[in-house]
Structure 1
Amino acid sequence: MTFLAELEQELFDGEEFIERLAWRATNGKFDEESYDVDLISEAFENAIKDLKAIYDTNQKKCERIEMICREEEKGHWMKVTELQQKCKDSLSTFEKLDKRLDIVADKVVYLGEQLESVNTPRTRAVEAQTLMKHFAHYLETSVETLNSFDEIVIENINQLYEEADIIQKLYLISQELPNNPRFNLAKEFISKKYNLIEKHLIEEFSSAHKNDDRAKMKKIAAILSHFKGYSQCIDVFIEQSQMGMFLSDNIFTDIVPLCVKNQKTIKEVFINPDQVMSKFILNLFHGKIQEYIHSRINGNDSREFLNELFNLFTKTNKLIDQIAKLKYLCCDYAFLNKISRNIFNNYLDMYIEKETSYLQEKCSNLLQSYYDLKNHQKRTIQSGGFQELIQSKIGRTIDINIGNLNINMSNQDYSGETFLSEEIAISILQESKMSLQRCSLLSKPQDLANNAMLIYEIELQNLCIEHIDYAIELGLQSIPATDQKSQPEIHFFEIIRQSNEICHLNEKQFSNWVQPMISSTTKYSECLKRKREVTQQMETKLNQGLEKSIASIISWIKYLLQTEQKKNEFKPEQGTDFIPTSTTACNKVVKFINYYHEKIGKCLDGAMVVICDVKEYRNCIDTFKIPLLSNLFNILHALCNLLIVVPENLKQVSNGDQLKCPELIAVSKLKSKYHIIEAYKHGQRDFGENYVNTSGEKEKSGINPDDADALVQFITDKCNRLKFSGLMTIGAYDFDTSQGLNPDFLKLIEIRDRINNYGDDEDEDDDDDDDDDDDAELVMAKRWSGSEAFD
């Protein structure tokens, strides 16, 4: 059994084992001369015997181990049976004990109720006896003792608790006693001692609060909750909690940490934490915050008043939001907002008056400083239909008096000054914006729209009427007359440019600030009407100025041609080889026209600016990857291009692809007639269908796919009044689109490609079509023409 170790190896190989056995038997010699078959046979027989012996030995070991396992298993089963029986016995015993416990518990509860019924009257009797003894003692008190009783001596805190309990009950009893001289002295003594003990308890509570002894605070607070001075205890807690706080200039940063810090103490100490926390926050707002606000707001300076009011109100609202997020049960947003409004109420009542007066004064000062800088004395300008009528009839160089009406018709030369300033306009708009910002925060909800309307009216009055309209009036006066003998200097075009820019800024501010505050109120229509009136008034005057400016230009051109142009200029002298390219009059007219053409272009031509803006908007919208929005901005861009198209090409450009009416290329039999009518209203007149039965179903009509080429050729060659637009099919109804495209659609695409190769004219307009609603999107995804499709 020398090879037993080999058999016990993990990676045992039988063939290698036999080879090694044969090698050992022959000593590694396998040549014909030394090769002995008998020797190998004997070695194999001996090895087989050895292996059988090993097998027999191991078999006996296995049998012995199996017998031991069976005995152990039998023993374990016996133990399990025994444990199961014990478990059943234990469960039975537990049920018996549970029943006995229920019986005993019922008896204990019964006995407890009996004892309580006996002990409660006894306890009450003892308490009554104690109270009677003390009351009897107070009845025997003399007047001298009462007058000398100014202080009580308390040896320890427990004695104070006992004395407090007794005196509180005696005080309640004394309040029910009749007004009898017999009891008056005792009642007075009890009341005096009641106040002394209450004072002593509050002092002990204050001392415990300073030492952060919350257990003692809780005990005293529970006792004081039955006393009249319980509110004084809360006041002491609130006052001491704020000691050492609010040392910085901005008290708003200290309030939230203070609330968080004291919330835990309030919940742990007081029996009514919600009410105490509410009083704590109320004290902060009506105490420190109100004092801070009163000290910061100065009512004498309007600007300082408005800025401080806005800043403090903003900080207070931010503080309210922070406290509301702490989710105190007693301090919701409505409660805190009400407190805030009460604090600022006096200031908010006078807010709009201060705001409007300050804004009006500020705008007036800005305009006056601008006119002072220009050395211009602003005056009232009278204008109207009667004056313009007389002016148009007799010219601009005459002063006439009709009754009390003085009309100055002389032209005013301001040396090219337009009296318009974008800087002043921006300053007025900025002041108005700040006023509107304050208005949105400080106005009451019911007054918000009206206040915004007042502020916007001041903006319109000062910016549009006092500044723009006034400059337009001066510009109208400065336009040269049509009968001048010198070259006119026209600066009205610059006034138009500046007016347009300022009005654009004003319109933007209206949309951003005024409209959100009044859009849902009746003031909206009223404000729009007022804005429209002012705008139309300025537009009317600008149109008058344009007409007069153009008339002046034309008049001067006419004058040049009449005075400078001579007939002999068109008859060159004989013998002169030099022929001038243009006459002097022509040069002057062209130079004059080019000068004002360039000036008008700079001041009035805004089409390219609009196109550039729309292009940027379109690029921005394209990033959203929404086809509808992209298509709308493409159409808007195409419409803006019409502004720079010459008149000759206007019709051609307006009929381009982007502005072309929708074209119907998909008609569904399942849709109602109203969809077809809608397509007809958009200009569609062809509703025929070229149906191909790609699925080969007998229930469906249509031509065979192989006949599609002949049909298309026949329509295009023979039917001159028909326009071939495309083919259609109905896909298999039960096909699962999650597996890919419907083979019917692929077949239709194959036919389309074949037709496209047939002719160049047809492939530009071919459209595929579909009649099934479920597959409409696939058809739209696979169309190859630029036309739009409708179901």
Structure 2
Amino acid sequence: MEDLVLASLDSAVFDVDNLIENIAYKSTDGNVINENFDPYVLEGKFRQAMSILQDCQVQTEQNIKHLEEACEKERNTWANSVAQLEELYQSTYTGQQELEMRISVISTKVIQIGHQLESKSNPRQQLVDARTTAKYLERFLDANDDVSLMFQDASKLEQAAHIIHQLYNVLQELPDEAKFTDAKNKVKERYMAIEEDLLLEFSRAQVRNDKKAMKKYIKLLSKFKGHNDCIQNFITDCLKGYFDNPNIDIFNSIPQLFVKVSELINELFDQPEKVTERLIITVYMEKLAPYVRDQLEPYLRDPGLENMEKYLQTLYTLHKKATKLSHDLQTQKISDDPAFLHKLNQYVFKTYLKTYSEYELSCLEEKFQVHLERLELTGGQRRMKPTGLSITDIIQQRLLNTDQVDESRFSPDLAAALLNDCRTAMTRITTLSEGTEASENILQCFRRLLNALGSQHIDTELQYSLQAIPGPEPKQEPDIRFFQAILQTNNSIQLIERYFVMDIAPLLLGTQQQTVLLQSKEKVFGQLEELINVGVDKSLSCIIGYARNILNEQKRSDFKPESDLSIYECSPICKRVVRSIDTQITRLEQNVDGKNLIGILNEFGLRFHRLIIDHVFKFEYNISGGLMMLQDVSEYKKCSKKFRSSTVEQLFSILHALVNLLVVVPDNLRQVITEGHLASLTRDIIESFVQLRTDYKSARLHTMISSEQ
């Protein structure tokens, strides 16, 4: 039983119910329902188990008490230890502060003693140096003393450099008298020899990459005039073989060289900034400038258009790379002068930038002419050339030399090519020009675009299109291609205007060139607009003239038939006129838009209205003839809606009301002229239409109109 209870207590989870079940099962061997079941036996087992549990509880409480006492004892022990350590730490900290104060006092005394020793030692050393210098000076002043072999020991080069430097300085202070001349020459000779030896030893140390020796010789040479030669030799050795590879990208190699050498420069030289500046100057003048020259000069030997374009693009690319190189180097704080690298760039490119503007504008002009000539050779327009021919002569030549004189020859590809060339030139100008020069170059560049695209191409093509418009009285329906010329002109003008607003105007904002360029642009556009207006007037006259020829086919007898006719539709002549007008309106709508379309259609409608009025007044009408004309005018009125003009529609509505007077019964005439559109018209206008009736006199219609008025 005890083992069973203890096993339950030792388990990870103590389950009372499970323990009770196990005790009951063990006590009865599982026969709880047996007739021989004795509950007292089971009770005894439970009491025994409870006794065991109580004993375990007592034992556990005693163990807990002993552990708590041990923990308390150990806590007190550690608390005492911590208190002792805190006291020891405080004592140690106080002692450390006292030691630091004593060290500070001692250090101050040591420094004072050092200064005192230095003040005593320096004069002594100076006396020793002066005595040594005087000793050697005496030998150099003695004309009989052979000093040619003096300072020949290479192992004592450092000592010799120190002595000869002092001798050289002393002799420089002596007057230029004959007794000192020989000594000065001898010292100068040895000075130069030792300086040369130092430079040689420095170069050898650099080859060995012996930084310690290099630094020593740099320090020695700092007292000599050859210190600059030392720096230059160092730079030359650093650059040796670095740019010999013809495939190397020099613009990427220069920053890499700087990163590679800058650490060594900082380690060796006392003033690394000066050495770095000297290195960059050498690279720009001896490496970058020749590289740029080799890239550009071949194109200048044969300055054709192709070579000149390559020259300009190469110059732009090189200058852009050089500018980026300067920016990258400037971020590494090479020099305190912010304009240092810019000045070097100017030195490299100054020769080419002087003539850049002339080459750029000349090349652009020549490229424009090539595009225009190519268009001419491929069947395009004949441009005006300085041959003494007028524009009329040139156009007449074209009309004589082509079978399709009415074919549109505007070239969108030409406009795109000219704009693309202009954009390329502008990109270079904004990079390679500065200030006023850049503004002037932009002005001249855009002027050339206006001249080539506006004056030479569009203007000439409009002139040609004007000549191709048929006369004012064509016998056949005119095919007005001038409307296509208007479309092409508007497209080209929009291209130029968009390019000006988006790209050119921001570059010239607030400059004098902006005003000049606006005037030039408006002048060219104004000339083109005048040509368009002339062409529109001529085209409308041609269209109206053809409609007039159709209307002239109607005879007086057509409107005074001898017998009454049943008239339900307009005349065939009217149908032909309306069909022709519809065709021309459709062409207009296909080629013109916006306010230009509205303006042209309005003028077209007014002229058409004038034509119909003139046509109406050519005849006299009986009732049948009046009905025929009324049907025609009704059709013209429907057609008038296509002119998109309320004025034209109103005029045709009034005309329809006036023509209606030709068929009104005389008794109703007095009432009709007081209604609708006729109510606002004068008696003269109304009577002018009533007079066209054949019964005007017989029915005494004049009296009716006069009495009403």
TM-score tier by shorter-chain length is 0.7 to 0.9
Check conservation: 2:165, 2:191, Cα contact below 8 A: yes
* Unmatched segments (≥5 aa) in structure 2: 598-640, 650-709
Residues 305, 12 of structure 1: CA spacing in aligned structure 2 closer, same or farther, 3 A cutoff? closer
Would you say 1:508 and 2:498 are equivalent positions? yes
Check conservation: 2:478, 2:543, Cα contact below 8 A: yes
Residues 41, 561 of structure 1: CA spacing in aligned structure 2 closer, same or farther, 3 A cutoff? closer
Question: In the alignment, which residue of structure 2 is the partner of 1:171?
Answer: 168
Question: In the alignment, which residue of structure 2 is the partner of 1:299?
Answer: 300
Distance 2:436 2:141 in 1: 65
1:248 to 236, 246, 256: 246
Distance 2:522 2:211 in 1: 70
Amino acid paired to 1:109? I
* Unmatched segments (≥5 aa) in structure 1: 384-395, 397-405, 610-642, 652-791
Residues 572, 98 of structure 1: CA spacing in aligned structure 2 closer, same or farther, 3 A cutoff? same
Residues 30, 242 of structure 1: CA spacing in aligned structure 2 closer, same or farther, 3 A cutoff? same
1:226 to 220, 223, 228: 223
Shift of 1:535: 0.8
Distance 2:76 2:644 in 1: 112
Deviates most, 195-204 or 46-55: 46-55
1:117 to 100, 116, 119: 119
Question: In the alignment, which residue of structure 1 is the partner of 2:654?
Answer: none
1:213 to 210, 215, 223: 210
Deviates most, 60-69 or 113-122: 60-69
Whose relative contact order is higher, 1 or 2, with alpha carbons under 8 Å and at least 6 apart? 2
Question: In the alignment, which residue of structure 2 is the partner of 1:357?
Answer: 362
Q: Number of paired residues?
A: 588
Instruction: Give 3-state SS (helix, strand or coil) of 1:559's partner.
Output: helix
Question: In the alignment, which residue of structure 1 is the partner of 2:592?
Answer: 604
Question: In the alignment, which residue of structure 2 is the partner of 1:475?
Answer: 465
Query: 5 Å matches for 1:95-244?
Result: 95-140=97-142, 142=144, 145=146, 153-156=152-155, 159-244=156-241
Distance 1:479 1:593 in 2: 17
Distance 1:225 1:411 in 2: 83
Query: 5 Å matches for 1:646-685?
Result: 646=644
Question: In the alignment, which residue of structure 2 is the partner of 1:311?
Answer: 317
Distance 1:585 1:290 in 2: 83
Shift of 1:496: 1.3
Shift of 1:518: 0.5
Shift of 1:60: 4.2
Amino acid paired to 2:174? L
Query: 5 Å matches for 1:480-559?
Result: 480-483=470-473, 488=478, 490-559=480-549
Check conservation: 1:320, 1:337, Cα contact below 8 A: yes
After superposition, the C-alpha distances for 1:144-198 in whole angstroms (9 at most, x for unaligned) are x46x66x964433xx2222222222322222212223333222222221221121
Normalized per residue, which structure has more helix?
2
Would you say 1:441 and 2:431 are equivalent positions? yes
Would you say 1:337 and 2:369 are equivalent positions? no
Distance 1:343 1:409 in 2: 55
Deviates most, 592-601 or 189-198: 592-601
Alpha-carbon RMSD? 3.9
Query: 5 Å matches for 1:372-451?
Result: 373-374=378-379, 376=382, 378=384, 415-451=405-441
Shift of 1:9: 2.2
Distance 2:19 2:396 in 1: 135
Q: TM-score, normalised by structure 2?
A: 0.73
Distance 2:215 2:642 in 1: 85
Shift of 1:63: 4.3
Instruction: Give 3-state SS (helix, strand or coil) of 1:299's partner.
Output: helix
Check conservation: 2:551, 2:573, Cα contact below 8 A: yes
Residues 99, 254 of structure 1: CA spacing in aligned structure 2 closer, same or farther, 3 A cutoff? closer
Amino acid paired to 1:431? D
Check conservation: 1:493, 1:599, Cα contact below 8 A: yes
Check conservation: 2:406, 2:465, Cα contact below 8 A: no
Question: In the alignment, which residue of structure 2 is the partner of 1:274?
Answer: 273
Residues 581, 188 of structure 1: CA spacing in aligned structure 2 closer, same or farther, 3 A cutoff? same
Amino acid paired to 1:155? A
Q: TM-score, normalised by structure 1?
A: 0.66
After superposition, the C-alpha distances for 1:756-791 in whole angstroms (9 at most, x for unaligned) are xxxxxxxxxxxxxxxxxxxxxxxxxxxxxxxxxxxx
Residues 13, 544 of structure 1: CA spacing in aligned structure 2 closer, same or farther, 3 A cutoff? same
Distance 1:470 1:608 in 2: 21
Amino acid paired to 2:494? H
Distance 1:253 1:312 in 2: 12
The percentage of counterpart residues that share the same residue type is: 28
Deviates most, 503-512 or 474-483: 474-483
Distance 1:522 1:224 in 2: 58
Residues 165, 557 of structure 1: CA spacing in aligned structure 2 closer, same or farther, 3 A cutoff? same
Query: 5 Å matches for 1:443-462?
Result: 443-462=433-452
Shift of 1:468: 1.4
Distance 2:91 2:382 in 1: 117
Instruction: Give 3-state SS (helix, strand or coil) of 2:357's partner.
Output: helix
Shift of 1:225: 2.1
Shift of 1:373: 4.8
Residues 67, 368 of structure 1: CA spacing in aligned structure 2 closer, same or farther, 3 A cutoff? closer
Distance 1:507 1:111 in 2: 86
Shift of 1:547: 0.7
Amino acid paired to 1:263? S
After superposition, the C-alpha distances for 1:691-730 in whole angstroms (9 at most, x for unaligned) are xxxxxxxxxxxxxxxxxxxxxxxxxxxxxxxxxxxxxxxx
Instruction: Give 3-state SS (helix, strand or coil) of 2:246's partner.
Output: coil
Shift of 1:77: 4.2
Residues 56, 645 of structure 1: CA spacing in aligned structure 2 closer, same or farther, 3 A cutoff? farther
Shift of 1:464: 0.9
Question: In the alignment, which residue of structure 2 is the partner of 1:321?
Answer: 327
Amino acid paired to 2:366? E
Check conservation: 1:214, 1:269, Cα contact below 8 A: yes
